[in-house]
Amino acid sequence: MINTELQQVKQRFGIIGSEPSLDRAIDVAVQVASTDLSVLITGESGVGKEKFPQIIHQYSSRKHGQYIAVNCGAIPEGTIDSELFGHEKGSFTGAVSDRKGYFEVADKGTIFLDEVGELPLTTQVRLLRVLEAGEFIKVGSSKVQKTDVRVVAATNLDMPKAIAEGRFREDLFYRLNSVPIAIPPLRDRGNDIALLFRKFANDFADKYRMPSVKLTQEAMQVLLGYPWPGNVRQLKNITEQISVLEQNRDISKETLLRYLPVVSSVERLPVFVGGASAHGDKSFNSEREILYQVLFDMKKDMNDLKKLVHNIMGKGSMDVSSMPTAETVQNVYQNDDLSAIVQQTQHQQPQSQSPLKMSGQKDIQDTEEYIEESFSLEDVEKDMIRKALERHNNRRKYAAQDLKISERTLYRKIKEYGLE
């Protein structure tokens, strides 16, 4: 899609931003609109998934037909089948007349099933039949009815996990996922955050008839560095709160921080930006898992060594010759091979079970209780950042490249850990 067409779509549907992954999602939506393929839109809650089924409907041959949006998570399980497929009079208590369901009403049109992952399994079976054969049966009826409906679905669930846990049918997932569209979270959209804030600030200034709020440079850095777990919806709500409650229209860093909820340490981990691809989220998760594994392995190795020394001191006498040699210790640091110390110490350990004795000293009883240490991810992260800055003489651009994080994230971490 050429840039002018893309801008027209954004303007028509009120989409703000120029992030390439967002542009790609819009491009796919426009391209798939002319077909009848089912589309599954994925993304975190609050990213604006509801805009994309509207794009698909309006750019399709069905644009003059019905467009119905259904929030599957908001309809009780006992009535969802009746809402979607209709029911016959007397089919259940309260069914005082026949009722058409959404799939009958939206014939020749489009149905948007938001939060499709919340559908009960029995309803999933009915939906699968609609997708495969264009057929459905009303609740309380035995008559098969036909419908010609385009289905666009959306979810914020981890669908492979839901399938593995038996909460979602695998065959239905693949039928819905004919064309996947992934909407990026707000924290991955860079300067789009600033554009959205200004847009919301101007909108609320017009709505409440007051001057628009503006951020200082330091406040803007905080805004760009915040992870936004609630995405665009959270940014809009916070902008509205600030617009209404603050008398001063120039918003400082300290003022902005009062409106930003504190996020957990896991959410504050650096975002790895190297090798961005369509599977960027998986890449980040992979990097984080590697970091966890390294830390756990280090902890295990240290605990094994301490237990070994503790056991030796508790079982028998030991002189200097039974300690690991300097050469062995050096090999451990060079090769990450803890087994060298373990093997040497075990071979040299005396068989005597008498209390520990050192030459020229009285008997020493080890009464210290073994206590397992715990590692802090924040301490490790802080140390990594400090060493990277030292290696590059505090040149943040190169330190960020060394750490494989963005300069914005590095700046935020430096402020957070007081490494300035």
Provide the phi-psi class of 108: left if phi over 0, else alpha when psi is between -120 and 50, else beta. left
Count of domains forming the chain? 2
**Within a domain: 368:** no
- Give the structural domain span for 237: 187-257
Whether 31 shows a pLDDT value over 60: the answer reads yes
pLDDT digits (tens, 9 = 90+) for 269-322: 444 333 333 334 444 444 555 565 666 566 666 766 766 666 666 655 445 454
In this structure, what CATH number is given to the domain that contains residue 106?
A: 3.40.50.300
Which token pair is 147?
């419908």
Counting Cβ atoms within 10 Å, is residue 69 exposed (0-12), middle (13-18) or buried (19+)? middle
- Same structural domain, 73 and 128: yes
257, 275, 309 - which closes a domain: 257
pLDDT digits (tens, 9 = 90+) for 169-220: 999 999 999 999 999 999 999 999 999 999 999 999 999 999 999 999 999 9
Which token pair is 93?
């208590």
Rounded average pLDDT over 44-64: 96
- Same structural domain, 68 and 209: no
The neighbouring-strand residues paired with 71 are 114
- Same structural domain, 20 and 146: yes
**Within a domain: 322:** no
Cβ-contact 223, 411 below 8 angstroms: no
In this prediction the pTM is: 0.62
State residue 41's pLDDT score.
Answer: 98
Q: How confident is the model at residue 140 (pLDDT cuts 50, 70, 90)?
A: very high
- Same structural domain, 199 and 248: yes
**Is 272 strand, coil or helix?**
strand
**Within a domain: 361:** no
**Within a domain: 96:** yes
184, 209, 241 - which closes a domain: 184
Which token pair is 165?
């846990």
- Same structural domain, 176 and 70: yes
State residue 49's pLDDT score.
Answer: 96
Sign of CA pseudo-dihedral 393, 399, 403, 409:
positive
Q: How confident is the model at residue 344 (pLDDT cuts 50, 70, 90)?
A: low
Mean of per-residue pLDDT scores for the chain:
82
Rounded average pLDDT over 234-242: 96
Contacts of 228 (CB under 8 A, 6+ apart): 185, 186, 187, 193, 234, 235
Rounded average pLDDT over 214-235: 96
DSSP string covering 30-65: HHHHTS---EEEE--TTS-TTHHHHHHHHTSTTTTS
Indicate the pairing of strand 110-114 with strand 150-155.
parallel
- Same structural domain, 138 and 23: yes
pLDDT digits (tens, 9 = 90+) for 57-84: 999 999 999 999 999 999 999 899 999 9
Most confident of 85-99, 127-141, 364-378: 127-141
**Nearest Cα residue to 67 out of 115, 108, 96, 125:** 108
The four Cα atoms 170, 175, 179, 182 give a dihedral, to 10 degrees, of -40
- Same structural domain, 178 and 56: yes
- Same structural domain, 98 and 194: no
**Within a domain: 115:** yes
State residue 189's pLDDT score.
Answer: 95
State residue 329's pLDDT score.
Answer: 46
State residue 378's pLDDT score.
Answer: 76
184, 214, 229 - which closes a domain: 184
